[in-house]
Amino acid sequence: MRRACVAALLVAACLTGARDPYQARREAMVRDQIMARGIRNPDVLRVMREIPRHEFVPPALREQAYEDHPLPIGYGQTISQPYIVALMTAKLDVNKSHRVLEIGTGSGYQAAILAQLVKHVYTIEIVPQLAEQAKKRLAKYPNVTVRHGDGYEGWPEQAPFDRIIVTAAPPEIPQALIDQLKPGGKLLAPVGPSPWSQELVLIEKRPNGKLRRKSILPVVFVPMVRGKKE
Ligand code: SAH
């Protein structure tokens, strides 16, 4: 009887392992990188445990997908460090009724994480090849829409947004994005003139339209580049 139970457990473990051999690494990532640095939001921890980050990195880097650093995704761009994705998701303070704009789709990982917690994610990527890849990768996330374009202009057709998250660093927060934020909304962006002097900034637009700005911590993001005017 006991032997049968052990065998059944082993089969169950193997089956789960076969479904997602990366589950244990995700658990360790959440425990050692995210909870260890003070993030407690249960929804954020849950989605970081669920979303298969290894599917968002180039195949040759899959084994490094759950390590404590950003990774290259081609075209000089990066997927952010897991802790930064968790921190930004927590600071954005989202709920299931929110329509969210993301600037800088990159791999699509941040959009996939947010998609579990909000109503809809609209995400814009300036590198056409990355936008195309992300569109394919995110096809199984029905509440994400990817567009190729210049984030400096925002997404006027879908505005206003409850939340805006910028994942490339502009020298200052683009006015178009502030204009496309709902009163009562929040915008999170790494801001700074160079990769060596950026800070993560949270803007709250009060119901009366006044802005409150708070610095969260120093960060290093790729620059938000300007699109060519046609
Ligand atoms: N959120 C991404 C990481 C983004 S890296 C992820 O989860 O993987 C920043 C991305 O912003 C890059 O892909 C870069 O091409 C893009 N980017 C830079 N300037 C931009 C702009 N003006 N508009 C839209 N995307 C931009």
State if residue 138 touches ligand 1 by the CB under 6 angstroms criterion.
no
Would you state the structure tokens that stand for residue 147, as one six-digit string?
């567009």
State if residue 162 touches ligand 1 by the CB under 6 angstroms criterion.
no
pLDDT digits (tens, 9 = 90+) for 139-148: 999 999 999 9
Closest CA to 52 of 166, 142, 167, 140: 140
The best mutation among 123, 130, 224, 226 to test binding of ligand 1, ranked by most ligand atoms within 8 Å of the C-beta, falls on 224
Mean pLDDT across the chain, nearest whole number? 93
pLDDT digits (tens, 9 = 90+) for 24-78: 999 999 999 999 999 999 999 999 999 999 999 999 999 999 999 999 999 999 9
User: For the structural domain made of 69-219, what CATH number should be given?
Assistant: 3.40.50.150
The full set of domain ranges for the chain reads: 69-219
Pairing of strands 198-205, 181-191: antiparallel
pLDDT digits (tens, 9 = 90+) for 73-116: 999 999 999 999 999 999 999 999 999 999 999 999 999 999 99
Identify the pLDDT of residue 18: 52
Q: Which of 80, 97, 107, 197 is flagged as catalytic?
A: 80
Q: Is 74 left (phi over 0), alpha (psi -120 to 50) or beta?
A: left
Q: Would residue 80 show up in a list of annotated catalytic residues for this protein?
A: yes
Q: Which residues contact 200 (CB under 8 A, 6 or more apart)?
A: 87, 88, 91, 188, 189, 190, 191, 215, 216, 217, 218, 219
Angle, CA 40 vertex, CA 37 and CA 43 arms, to 5°: 130
